């Protein structure tokens, strides 16, 4: 039997257990569960999103060293070296090791600290690009205090052989050893401490430029005129003989026929004779070497048909050519004068060897030139003639 309840107005209300009430209760429960479900979904989505963000950050953090490893690998030494140059703080340099070199940078007791690879490469690049015999010579890198060149003077014996006839023995080879010692080349640029304290001042770039300029000028002079005493031996320092009397250990020369100048008639003949005094083996890779004054005189010369012997390069950075061979303008070559050897011609890649040690060191001296700071930079380099048959000279003399 269904019971009814009375409202305040006297109306009958359905019992709480009526079907309509049950439906409403079920619907309300469903809606509550739906709201809870939606809230849970939103919470889980938010948690998932936060996890993804954290994962992305971790991935970026982990990946960053791999992307910039090459830069960061050199950064400690570069930063420490910069601090040493600016204020003498060498704590960061102690214990550092150049990668792949196997040597410690803490070498203050040996005369300074090794320059970072970037600065050293800049200096070497400038040295290679300067107008020096280095640009056409054979340049080798050594770790020792000298470099040996082995030269075979003899030709291998040969001959025609018959099927049953005896075969003669070959001549014993004659091997000569040329030792090129390495000498210390130094430069000492200076800067004020106030300038070094300026963070906008590129101390490494400035130092590299000054050192390269000093080194380039010193090397260029030594490779031509050096006497071999505490410096490389220049090719003009070796004994010179007329080409008809040439022997190993000397450089052969061709005379112009006029003391202190080219011949008054057929002046260009001396240039032609100089070119063909060099063996065909070396002519393919040969170059002329002279200074600017000599070049000014030579470029006016013409052959018998009125054509200039000198031709300027057609492309950018291409050297001028004399009789088809490149010309290196080296200001340390002597001027045209009586008895001078103002023009050289040869395969300098075979005829002259430059030996370099890869380490360049810098020592900071804040005491000797106050209020300026001195930077004593040093490297080791050597040079000498390695093949006396590969270089010929033009002598401005009657004979």
pLDDT (0 to 100) of residue 257 = 92
- Residue 395 near residue 254, CB atoms below 8 Å: yes
Residues 212, 215, 218, CA angle at the centre, nearest 5°? Answer: 145
Residue 316 tokens read as 């950018």
Residue 371: cis peptide before it, omega within 30 degrees of 0: yes
pLDDT of residue 233: 96
CATH of domain 76-153+173-229+355-385: 3.30.2400.10
C-alpha 211: how far from chain center? 14
- 12-52 per-position pLDDT tens digit: 454 556 777 776 777 777 677 777 777 777 777 777 777 66
**pLDDT recorded at residue 252:** 96
The correct CATH number of 238-352+387-395 out of 3.30.2320, 3.30.70, 1.10.10, 3.30.1330 is: 3.30.2320
Placement of tokens 């006497």 in the chain: 227
Asked if 154 and 173 touch (Cβ cutoff 8 Å), the reply is yes
pLDDT of the residue at 63:
44
Among the listed residues 123, 383, 398, 352, the one whose alpha carbon sits nearest the alpha carbon of residue 242: 398
Q: Name the pTM for this structure.
A: 0.67
- For 105-110, the CB contacts below 8 A with 24+ separation are 105/77, 107/361, 108/363, 110/361
* Cβ contact 141:358 at 8 Å: yes
SS3 assignment for 87-100 = HCCCCCCCCCECCC
Instruction: Tell me what pLDDT residue 284 has.
Output: 93
Q: Which two tokens stand for residue 265?
A: 């008639």
Boundaries of every domain in the chain: 76-153+173-229+355-385, 238-352+387-395
Among residues 91, 81, 76, the alpha carbon closest in space to that of 119 is found at 81
**Three-state helix/strand/coil letters over 134-171:** HHCCEEEECCCCEEEEEEECCCCCCCCCCCCCCCCCCC
Instruction: Report the distance separating Cα 23 and Cα 375, nearest Å.
Output: 95
**Across-strand partners of 373?**
191
Predicted local confidence at residue 260, as pLDDT: 92
Can you read off the two tokens belonging to residue 365? 């001296």
The C-alpha atoms of residue 95 and residue 106 are separated, in whole angstroms, by 6
Alpha-carbon Rg for the chain, nearest whole angstrom, is 41
Segments in the chain below pLDDT 70: 1-17, 23, 30, 51-131, 153-173, 199-201, 313-317
Return the pLDDT at 128.
Answer: 61
């Amino acid at each position: 039997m269904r019971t009814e309840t009375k409202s305040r107005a006297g109306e009958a209300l359905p019992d709480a257990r009526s079907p309509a009430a049950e439906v409403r209760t079920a619907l309300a429960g469903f809606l509550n569960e739906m709201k809870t479900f939606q809230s849970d979904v939103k919470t889980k989505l938010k948690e998932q999103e936060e996890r993804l963000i954290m994962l992305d950050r971790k991935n970026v953090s982990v990946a960053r060293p791999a992307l910039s490893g090459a830069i960061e690998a050199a950064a400690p030494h570069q930063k420490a070296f910069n601090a040493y140059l600016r204020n003498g703080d060498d704590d960061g340099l102690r214990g550092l090791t150049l990668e792949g070199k196997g040597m410690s940078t803490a070498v203050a007791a040996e005369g300074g600290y090794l320059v970072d690879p970037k600065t050293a490469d800049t200096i070497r690049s400038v040295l290679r690009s300067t107008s020096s015999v280095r640009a056409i010579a054979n340049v080798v890198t050594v770790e020792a205090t000298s470099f040996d060149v082995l030269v075979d003077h003899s030709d291998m014996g040969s001959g025609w052989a018959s099927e049953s006839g005896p075969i003669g023995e070959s001549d014993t080879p004659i091997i000569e050893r040329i030792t090129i010692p390495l000498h210390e080349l130094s430069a000492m640029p200076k800067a004020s401490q106030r300038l070094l304290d300026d963070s906008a001042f590129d101390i490494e770039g400035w130092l590299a430029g000054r050192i390269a300029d000093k080194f380039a000028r010193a090397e260029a002079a030594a490779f031509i005129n050096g006497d071999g005493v505490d410096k490389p031996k220049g090719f003009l320092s070796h004994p010179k003989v007329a080409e008809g009397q040439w022997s190993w250990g000397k450089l052969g020369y061709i005379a112009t026929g006029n003391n202190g100048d080219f011949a008054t008639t057929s002046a260009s003949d001396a240039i032609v004779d100089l070119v063909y005094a060099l063996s065909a083996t070396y002519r393919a890779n040969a170059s002329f070497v002279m200074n600017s004054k000599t070049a000014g005189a030579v470029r006016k010369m013409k052959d018998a048909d009125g054509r200039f012997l000198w031709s300027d390069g057609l492309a950018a950075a291409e050297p001028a050519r004399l009789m088809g061979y490149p010309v290196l303008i080296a200001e340390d070559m002597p001027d045209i004068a009586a008895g001078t050897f103002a023009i050289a011609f040869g395969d300098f890649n075979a005829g002259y060897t430059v030996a370099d040690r890869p380490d360049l060191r810098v020592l900071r001296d804040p005491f000797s030139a106050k209020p300026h700071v001195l930077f004593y930079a040093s490297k080791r380099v050597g040079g000498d003639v390695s093949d006396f048959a590969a270089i010929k000279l033009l002598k401005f003399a009657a004979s």
